[in-house]
Every structure is written in structure tokens, then in C-alpha cells.
Amino acid sequence: MHIAIIMDGNGRWAKAQGKTRTQGHKAGAEVVKKITQYAAQNKDIKYLTLYAFSTENWKRPKLEVEFLMKLLDNWLQQELNTYIKNEVKFEVIGDISKFSKKLQNRIEETKEKTKNFDKLTQILALNYGSRDEITRAVKKLCNKNLEITQENISKNLDTANFPDVDLLIRTSGEIRVSNFLLWQIAYAEMYFTPTLWPDFTPNELEKIIEEFKTRDRRFGGI
């Protein structure tokens, strides 16, 4: 099963708690760890894609963006042992060329050190936007003089090595997909929960998965 999550609500959680937005992002990072560990132990889950930083997030205040970059760098450094302990393969989708060389190197180092694990593949969407991804894929086809077909587009997306999404979850009560994996969620089941991301738990994820298993997926058929 491939689960994708739009992790929304860090800022609203922080405001409700009387805390800063940066504290909300820190709390959200801890939930990423818990959910990833749970997914690694759940035999039904093979891929977990998390929307961590979108192409639109650069519009946020400069200090917040800088904090998020540092948070990601520190996260990858501190959580490498967690990836290894839980046999989690780390992957990234999105255009990371806009990140600092230090952060790019950290990302590549984490990918390299976890590349042989297969219990779970965790995919972080970083500087990711689905329209940007599809545009880049079409440009690749043009550069390669390949015919623009669904198969060729799929093979040139950031997610070329991953299966399509089975279950898309968004936290915080917002009911939209926000330019996330538009191609890959064509036949995904969707679940929207009012829970803010820092309050999201493995127990709630488990209940969502059980509800997902009761759905009749027909993929356009009868």
C-alpha cells in the first residue's frame, strides 16, 4: 500500500497552544517520526509519501522558510539512526536544486546510507508541486524526442520508481489536494480528518487504514 499524507495544521496548532509557528513545526516533525516508525512496522504499508515543503511554501516569511530548512537538515542528521534501526529507505521527490548545497548533500547522504532497506520507503516531497513535476517530465520527453504518452510521462515523473497512491490523507480539516501528486492520485481513496498534524497519531492512522480496507475500489470499472 502507498499512503500519501498532506501534513497540515502546524501553524494553527501552535496558535491554539499559544506557541510560535516554529514550535508547531517542531511538534509536527516529532509526529513524522512516530508515523514513520508505525508505518515501518505495518506490513500493509510499503510506501509513505509526506508533503513536507511545497513549491508555494517559498512565499512564507523568510525567517520561517530559513527555520524549515534548518529543521529539515537537523532532522535528517538526527534521525538517520531511526531510519537505519527501522530499515526505512529514504527518498525525495521535488526540485531540490534550490536548496543549499549543505542540505542537498545531507539529502543525498541519507539516501545513500538507507538505499538497501526495503521494509518501508519514506518519500519526502521537498520543493514539490505536482504541476511543476509534470512540466519537468514533459520537458524531459521533448529533450529525449519521445512521444508524449501517459506511459512516458509516468516514467519521467519524480515518482517513476514508485507505485501510484492508494490512500491520500489530509489533516487539519481542509478539503483540497493543494497541488500534491495530481497524476499519482488519479484513483486514490481520499480521507480528510479535522485533526491538526501535531495531534495526529499512529492510532488514528490505523483507524483510517481499516476504514480504507472497507472501500470498494473499482478503478473506473463496475
Laid out side by side, the sheet with 47-54 consists of: 88-93, 120-128, 47-54, 2-6, 167-170, 189-192
Q: Quick one: what percent of the chain has pLDDT higher than 90?
A: 96
Domains of the chain: 2-129+166-213 (3.40.1180.10)
**Predicted local distance difference test score (pLDDT) of residue 216:** 86
Residues 6 or more apart whose Cβ sits within 8 Å of residue 8: 170, 171, 172, 174, 196, 197
Class of residue 49 by CB neighbours under 10 A (exposed 0-12, middle 13-18, buried 19+): buried
**Predicted local distance difference test score (pLDDT) of residue 74:** 93
Asked if the model's pLDDT at residue 219 lies above 90, the reply is: no
pLDDT per position as a tens digit, 85-98: 999 999 999 999 99
Asked if the model's pLDDT at residue 221 lies above 80, the reply is: no
Asked if the model's pLDDT at residue 222 lies above 70, the reply is: no
Q: How far apart (Å, rounded) are the C-alpha atoms in residues 189 and 136?
A: 26
Q: What's the rounded mean pLDDT across residues 113-129?
A: 97
Catalytic residues: 8, 57
* 5 contacts 35 by C-beta, under 8 angstroms: yes
Residues forming beta bridges with residue 6, ordered by sequence position: 51, 170
pLDDT per position as a tens digit, 33-44: 999 999 999 999
Q: How far apart (Å, rounded) are the C-alpha atoms in residues 197 and 130?
A: 22
Average pLDDT, the chain: 95
pLDDT per position as a tens digit, 144-159: 999 999 999 999 999 9
**Predicted local distance difference test score (pLDDT) of residue 220:** 74
Is the four-CA dihedral 170, 51, 162, 148 of positive or negative sign? positive
The helix/strand/coil state of 182 is coil
Confidence of residue 218 (pLDDT cuts 50, 70, 90): confident
pTM exceeds 0.85 for this model? yes
